[in-house]
Amino acid sequence: MIVNVSEAKTHLSRLIDLVYHGEEVLIAKNNLPIVDLVIHKPKGKRRLGQLEGAFVVPADFLDDDNEIDAMFYGDAAE
């Protein structure tokens, strides 16, 4: 099925439903085919842990910093 851009804007939900059910939809501009409306297909599974070992959390990461505490709470925090 070939539809012009203006018709595609008006009937996008219906076109998506058609594609979902196997219909081929081509969107045209000035009767020149521009875009195929297709179902999304993931490129592959996500790989977790790609950066494992690339960053080491310092041992003092959660320790308070007096200078930062003073900025937030004033000099009374020291």
Domain for residue 16, yes or no?
A: yes
Domain for residue 46, yes or no?
A: no
Domain for residue 10, yes or no?
A: yes
pLDDT band at 18 (very low <50, low <70, confident <90, very high): very high
pLDDT band at 44 (very low <50, low <70, confident <90, very high): confident
Task: Name the pTM for this structure.
Answer: 0.54
- pLDDT recorded at residue 57: 87
Q: Do residues 26 and 3 make contact, with C-beta atoms less than 8 angstroms apart?
A: yes
Domain that holds residue 13: 2-37
- pLDDT recorded at residue 77: 46
For residue 54, pLDDT over 60 is answered with: yes
Could you give the number of structural domains in the chain? 1
Domain for residue 21, yes or no?
A: yes
